Every structure is written in C-alpha cells, then in structure tokens.
C-alpha cells in the first residue's frame, strides 16, 4: 500500500515538473519568437528607410570635369549608377579653363570638377556660382615629363627640355600648362611673373633655345600628340599615363616643391535651370565622389586621394 502511495506521489511530482518545464520552454520560445519578430521588423523598417533615402527619382544632371579625369570619372559614374540607377549623368570633359568660361557664359552645369583651385576660386569668389558648403578637395596629382616608346630622346626631365626636337605643352589657361610653367619658374628656367599662366609659349621656346613647342588646348591633346609620336616630349599628369604604359615612358615625375600641390576640387554649381530633384541629385553625386568607393577608383587610376578636404 505504502509503495502504491509512494508511486502515485512520485508520478504526480514528475507530471508537475514536466508541466513546469513545458511552461518555461513555451515562455522562452514565445520570448524568442517575439524578439525575432521585433528584430525582423526593425531590420525591415531600416531597410525601407535606407531605400527611400538613397534611391532618387528619375532625373539628369550635367557634370563639367577636367579632361584628365575622363577615364577615372567615367568609372566613378558607373559605380554611382549601381546605387542610383535613375540618375543619368552627362559628363563634359575639357580643360578646366575652357569649362569655367562655358559656365560663365551661361552653359547649364550642375557639378564642376576642376583640375586646379584657380578655376574653382574664380567660380566661387568672382562668379558666386558655387553652392555653399559643397566645395571639396578630392584628389592630388603630379606633373610628369613623357616621351613615346622608342623615341631615343636625349631629354631626361624638365631641366633639359631644350634638348628635345619638339615639345607638346598645354597653354597657360590649362592647369597642367600652368603647373608646368610654375615648375620652370621655380627651377630657374623662366623669369618669375605675378601670374605664371600668362607666360606665352614663344617666351618658353626662347628660354629653351628656340625649341619647337606645340601649344595644346587641354592635357588630353598633349598626351595624344606624344603617344602618336607627333612631338618628342610633353608634360601631362601622372594619371594621364594610365592605360598607355605600352606607348609612353615617364622621363621625370616633377616634385611638388616645383609645381605645388595639384589639387582637384569639386563643387555643386548654382544652376537656375535645375529643378529640386536635379539639385538633389547633383549634391548626392558630389557626396559620392568623396566616398571610399570613389576613392578606390581614383587610386587605381594613379591619383592620390590622401588630401585634406
């Protein structure tokens, strides 16, 4: 009898214990399920918020950029369109001086990406056409002396340019032309003047014992003239040699002590013809150009992205 009572008691304890465990597991499962649903809800809301804030409606903007940026910036634009497929970007490449003149003459432009501070300073301070707070330094570059493969040139760099049969050189309104002139002044090859960009090519030719100089309207033209062998040597940016390693040799990388920093600034331009969506897209693109994703592209094209904003 005692054994039977004891068995009944033990059975009751086991049932109560199992019920308690079952209740605990159920409560824990419910808690986990509630937590998971909450996390999923938060994640969904965050994704929705990011999607709404990141993807813009269909629009189109125009970007004026220095000729030396063409290869790199085309790739940056493709990268940008991976996250902003509805924004069509129309790039226009030329010398920064030419692009500045076009903006001043009323050409519709949403973003200006210059190869020098001078043109951006003019746009911002004289023309008052830079949107406040949107100007940023993006990359640095270096001026190099180049020749075509197999030229057999006697030129080794800037200081013996006079030994060339002909030189392709950008005019002073083109940033690389200005930097070249500045380097020659600092090297003692040209007399100092208030504005080195005003030094004409005939004066440079005389300083180089009468060597023939082919004056070019932008850096791409200089690169082409030398790569095709039309001119023996020329001065371009280091980034311009990307993809032409089999056609060009770099004779000298000119130091910053001679040229100064070769900073490329970008800014949103005040465009009276742009609607609110276009203005939003222009600012969004300017911000993307400063991103790590864009910097990685610029680095791969021989630009230096380690610059102070």
Rounded distance, CA 67 to CA 79, Å? 19
In a domain, 1, yes or no: no
In this prediction, residue 292 carries a pLDDT of: 98
237 marked as part of a ligand binding site: yes
In a domain, 11, yes or no: no
In a domain, 31, yes or no: no
CB 256 within 8 A of CB 179: no
68 marked as part of a ligand binding site: yes
First to last CA, the chain: 92
CATH of the domain at 66: 3.40.190.10
3-state helix vs strand vs coil in the chain, percent to 5: 50, 20, 30
Q: What is the DSSP secondary-structure string of 33-65?
A: HHHHHHHHHHHHHHHHHHHHHHPPPSEEEEEEE
In a domain, 284, yes or no: yes
* pLDDT mean for each 10 residues of the chain (309 residues): 41 42 43 43 35 76 98 98 98 97 98 98 98 99 98 98 98 97 98 98 98 98 98 98 97 98 98 97 98 98 95
Question: How many domains does the structure of the chain reveal?
Answer: 2
7 marked as part of a ligand binding site: no
Residues 271 and 208 in one domain: no
In this prediction, residue 290 carries a pLDDT of: 97
Residues 218 and 286 in one domain: no
In a domain, 30, yes or no: no
Domain that holds residue 229: 143-254
In a domain, 96, yes or no: yes
């Amino acid at each position: 009898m005692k054994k039977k009572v004891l068995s009944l008691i033990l059975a009751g304890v086991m049932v109560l214990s199992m019920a308690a465990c079952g209740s605990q597991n159920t409560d824990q499962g419910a808690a986990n399920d509630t937590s998971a649903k909450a996390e999923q809800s938060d994640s969904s809301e965050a994704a929705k918020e990011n999607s709404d804030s990141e993807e813009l409606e269909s629009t189109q903007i125009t970007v004026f950029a220095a000729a030396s940026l063409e290869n790199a910036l085309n790739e940056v634009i493709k990268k940008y369109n991976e996250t902003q497929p509805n924004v069509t970007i129309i790039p226009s490449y030329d010398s920064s001086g030419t692009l500045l003149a076009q903006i001043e003459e009323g050409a519709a432009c949403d973003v200006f990406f210059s190869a020098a501070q001078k043109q951006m300073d003019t746009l911002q301070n004289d023309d008052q056409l830079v949107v406040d707070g949107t100007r940023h330094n993006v990359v640095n570059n270096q001026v190099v002396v180049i020749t075509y493969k197999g030229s057999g040139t006697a030129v080794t760099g800037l200081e013996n340019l006079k030994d060339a049969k002909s030189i392709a050189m950008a005019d002073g309104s083109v940033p690389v032309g200005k930097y070249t002139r500045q380097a020659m002044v600092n090297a003692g090859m040209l007399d100092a003047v208030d504005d080195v960009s005003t030094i004409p090519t005939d004066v440079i030719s005389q300083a180089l014992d009468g060597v023939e100089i082919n004056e070019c309207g932008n850096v791409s033209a200089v690169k082409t003239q030398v790569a095709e062998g039309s001119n023996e040597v020329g001065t371009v940016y280091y980034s311009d040699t990307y993809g032409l390693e089999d056609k060009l040799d770099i004779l000298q990388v000119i130091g910053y002590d001679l040229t100064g920093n070769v900073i490329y600034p970008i800014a949103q331009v005040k465009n009276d013809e742009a609607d609110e969506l276009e203005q939003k897209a222009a600012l969004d693109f300017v911000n993307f150009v400063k991103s790590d994703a864009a910097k990685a592209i610029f680095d791969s094209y021989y630009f230096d992205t380690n610059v102070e904003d």
